[in-house]
Amino acid sequence: MEDYLINKVKERKGDFEEAIQKLKSLDTTDEENKLLSQMNSLEKQLEKFEKRQKNLTIMRA
């Protein structure tokens, strides 16, 4: 009985490893974090640009 269970577990091990790899490939948290970081950086750059543009407008007036 134990040998039967051990053999079945060994047979299924590959399936489980494949399923885990598929789940890892579907995990997008790292990409999401990168994109959020980039978005924050772009928002800061936009704020700086708008502030600079406002200051130039004030200086020209």
Tens-place pLDDT, residues 5-57: 788 878 888 888 888 888 888 888 888 899 999 999 999 999 999 999 999 98
Q: What pLDDT score does 6 carry?
A: 83
Tally of structural domains, the chain = 1
The rounded distance, in Å, linking the Cα atoms of 20 and 12 is 12
Range of the domain at 34: 2-60
Q: What pLDDT score does 47 carry?
A: 94
Residue 54's alpha-carbon distances to 6, 22, 40, in angstroms, are: 72, 50, 21
